[in-house]
Amino acid sequence: MTREIEGDTEHPVTIVVTRTVKAGHAEAYETWLQTLLEDARSLKGYLGAEVLRPIGGSREYTSVFRFASVANLRAFEASELRRRALEAVAPHVEGDPVWRELTGLELFFEPPPGTVVPQPSRWRMAVVLVLVVYLLVLSIGTGVSIVLAEVPGQVRLLVTIALEVLLLTYVVMPRLTRWLAWWIYPRRVVR
């Protein structure tokens, strides 16, 4: 995967990789993943990763890798480390992974089913996020200030921000994205 990302190549970039692990290969995959994450620490511009493990009967892993710039990502894509890692994981996964490069707010927006190129309108994402964050700041900020009135302001702010980010990521944006898909993805291509 070597596709040019829109915009300034010196901004951070997030790569979301989804793989389906073969039945009975979860332990081998976990070992491979741990090795990759440890080896990646030595890469220039590598900011870290998070792994979303399968839930229920699923065998789908989603890994979120962050790099300081597109140039750092491209260096990883061309590296021997990546070549060896892809070779080592092949016996443990089904099919090719799904890769998505994210450079902005689209991390909050999950594309509707059937979207071939998940490119939500940036200005529409910004409008939705401004409205949602405004409402969350008003409601949660006020609530936290009332409930934690005796707590120092910095702690109240931290609690407010933590609650807002968690709600944005896991509750509000996934639902809003589905409800507003017709507007956020105005020209979607359906398979």
95 & 41 share domain: yes
99 & 126 share domain: no
Q: Are 159 and 103 in contact (CB under 8 A)?
A: no
Q: 148: pLDDT confidence band, cut at 50, 70 and 90? A: very high
Give CA–CA dist 142/67, Å, rounded: 35
- Which residues, including other chains, have CB under 8 Å from residue 85's CB and lie 6 or more apart? 32, 35, 36, 39
143 & 174 share domain: yes
Select from 35, 68, 103 the last residue of a domain: 103
pLDDT digits (tens, 9 = 90+) for 65-85: 888 888 888 899 899 999 999
DSSP string for residues in 111-144: PPTTBSS----HHHHHHHHHHHHHHHHHHHHHHH
Q: 6: pLDDT confidence band, cut at 50, 70 and 90? A: very low
Q: 63: pLDDT confidence band, cut at 50, 70 and 90? A: confident
Structural domain harbouring 70: 13-103
Asked, for residue 60, whether it belongs to a domain, the answer is: yes
> Mean of the pLDDT values across residues 157-168?
90
Q: Looking at the predicted structure, is the pLDDT value of residue 112 above 50?
A: no
> Mean of the pLDDT values across residues 151-177?
86
Select from 103, 130, 150 the last residue of a domain: 103
79 & 143 share domain: no
Give CA–CA dist 11/104, Å, rounded: 9
Q: Looking at the predicted structure, is the pLDDT value of residue 104 above 60?
A: no
Asked, for residue 135, whether it belongs to a domain, the answer is: yes
